[in-house]
Amino acid sequence: MASGANNEFELKGLSVSKGIAHGEAFVMLNTDFKVPVYEIKPSDKERERERLQTAIIRAREDILKVKAELSESVGEAEAAIFDAHLLVLEDVAILQETFGMLERENFNVEYCYSCAVDKFIGAFEKIDDPFIRERIADLKDVSKRVIDKMLGRSTLNMGILSDPLILVSSDFAPSDFALVDKSKILAIITEKGSQTSHTAILSRSLGIPCIVGVEGVAEKVSTGQFLLVDGYNGNIVANPTENTLRHYTELESVHREVQKLFDSALPMPSSTLDGEQFELFINISGAADIPQAMENYAGVGLFRTENFFLDMGAFPDEDAQYEAYAAAVKAAKGKPVVIRTLDLGGDKNLSLMKMVNKEENPFMGYRAIRFCLDHKDCFKQQLRAILRAGALGPVKILLPMICSIREVERARGMIEEAKEDLRKEGKAFDSNIQVGSMIEVPSAALTIDIIAKASDFISIGTNDLIQYILAVDRVNDMVAHLYEPTHPAVIRIIDHVVRRAQQAGIPVSVCGELAADPTFCSLLLGMGIRQFSMSAKSVGEIKYLLRKISLKQAVDLRNDVMALTRSRHVISRLRSFHYEIMQSK
């Protein structure tokens, strides 16, 4: 139930993308949202029955459509999964149970239907059989579709909204960005999520204020309600008064001034007070994220290609990929572009993939290089497209989620095969392309000396590295407080990787969110990092800060922090250092 029809009320969450926005809310409902229950008149029962029948017909049309699309893009065998959905949809026993309840009780039909479905799921759950487990998943999926139809809620509706809106949802997956016109999103508010979820990362790079971890927001706020979102402090004000709006407008102008100060550092040399050089690269999801003034940036340190796949909602072919990579190379104006191979899985799922591979623990599962080495045709296509884009400017290949040297060798083997094919076909490509490994799994971090033997460069993906070191799912809000970049284990492992990469004589950069953390960047410099990659929006602030310190200060900071034994001590040391820099002239 939405609270307070017109009274101002506040909600609090964790801010993961800065900025202030105000406008109307659009509440996206999803699986976690409770099915509404209300009483109906006995005379309405016939109409309720018809509502269910119509919803089933519509759901059937949807399923047949998705089946046809999937059959075209992936294959008939995979598309056959929808035959099971059609059977569940028309299951007579569920309909009898629903209509029986509708007859006996005076409740709305979606509620009766959900009770019937729950009853069957409950019975199925007692049977320990993989086939039955699959049927439970089908039943959940199909029943959600039917209930959505009855409630008139469809995610696709978002795409046709003409006015900019604040999206409110229990969860907003990275693939959901593909359903909406991003320019129409004023802000995003979710119940789930965390600082390093890909939704948060994308929001930051799109400059969309985003607040996560707002308990019950999808129920407390209703579509059309006027909201004010303070993405600096994680505050949401519903039905804000004139006074509140004025207060936040002032706050926004203060933040704008501070950002102007940071951005004034953009054209300045990238060197510390004592002349140590560093380089600030940008993370992108496509050419559109590359700023015009590329002279202010060292290049593209991370091109997350999977976001392009998610936007398309499918596996684009080689030429479509080539176009996308070539556009980035051109927009980078001669600066290097590090293209990461497909990192699907975890919280980045193509809906097609999700249907084919349902995983209990996706972050530990069929992700990134594991998926690619198993889907050679799809991987080859991407490698060919990257190699060809390399003929247009300096391009490097980055392999995600590497666990062992074997994976790097296998990927390199496929790169060589792709080169050979392109050579035979007479197509232009970069035959000397550099191949780097992402260090984001502890096994790779601890064997960095071995991985380095097969890698031309190393990029530390701190977002994943932290979750795997600490066994804290990066998108699970229930354990978000345990996701501690300042944990001594994290500090030691990053330091170890940097040192060992240096000993091996290969360049090492950081492309995870820590690189853009104003309290962390000096520590990384002190550890030996000279290449940082982050969303273009963060570069001004990090450059401003690094230009205000000396390498000696950074190394002293690193030595101090390495001796600390508790996360909170590390936090306070880093915060006081940051405060000192900001105060210094």
Query: Taking CB under 6 A as the criterion, which residues in 327-356 touch ligand PEP?
Result: 343
**How many residues sit close enough to ligand PEP to count as binding (CB under 6 A)?**
11
463 near ligand PEP (CB under 6 A): yes
In angstroms, what is the minimal distance from the CB of 463 to ligand PEP?
A: 3
Tell which one of 440, 473, 484, 541 touches Mg ion (CB under 5 A): 440
Closest by Cα among 461, 447, 451, 554 to 506: 451
Please give the structure tokens belonging to residue 79: 């598309």
Q: Give the shortest CB-45-to-ligand PEP separation in angstroms.
A: 51
d(CA 167, CA 186): 8
Q: Using CB under 5 A, which of 289, 464, 495, 541 touches Mg ion?
A: 464
Q: Which of 198, 210, 403, 521 is catalytic?
A: 198
CB contact burial 451-471 (16+ within 10 A = b; e otherwise): bbebbbbbbbbbbbbbbbbbe
Which CB, 464 or 517, lies closer to Mg ion?
464
Number of residues that bind Mg ion (CB under 5 A): 3
x/- map, 289-328, ligand PEP, by CB under 6 A: -------------x-x------------------------
Cα 18 to Cα 204: distance, rounded to the nearest angstrom: 7
Put residue 165 in one of left, alpha, beta given phi > 0 → left and psi -120 to 50 → alpha: beta
| 22 given a catalytic annotation | no
Q: Residue for token digits 């978000």?
A: 480
Stretch near ligand PEP under the rule CB under 6 A, chosen from 3-11, 117-125, 378-386, 462-470? 462-470
As a whole number of angstroms, the distance between CA 128 and CA 146 comes to 27
Contacts 24+ apart (CB under 8 A), 179-187: 179/155, 182/206, 182/208, 186/21, 186/22, 186/23, 186/229, 187/19, 187/21, 187/23, 187/211, 187/227, 187/229, 187/231
198 a catalytic residue = yes
Q: How far is the CB of 302 from ligand PEP (least distance, A)?
A: 6
Query: CA-to-CA distance for 148 and 265, rounded, in angstroms?
Result: 50
Q: How far is the CB of 343 from Mg ion (least distance, A)?
A: 6
Question: What is residue 346's DSSP assignment?
Answer: T
Please, which of residues 164-203 interact with ligand PEP by CB under 6 A? 201
State yes or no: residue 462 binds ligand PEP (CB under 6 A): yes
Residue type, 285: S
Residue 97 binds which one of ligand PEP, Mg ion, none, with CB within 5 to 8 A depending on kind?
none
13 binds Mg ion (CB under 5 A): no
* Binding-site partner at residue 240 among ligand PEP, Mg ion, none, CB < 5 to 8 Å by type: none
Q: Which residues bind Mg ion (CB under 5 A)?
A: 440, 461, 464
Active site residues: 198, 511
Q: Which residues bind ligand PEP (CB under 6 A)?
A: 201, 302, 304, 343, 440, 461-464, 511-512
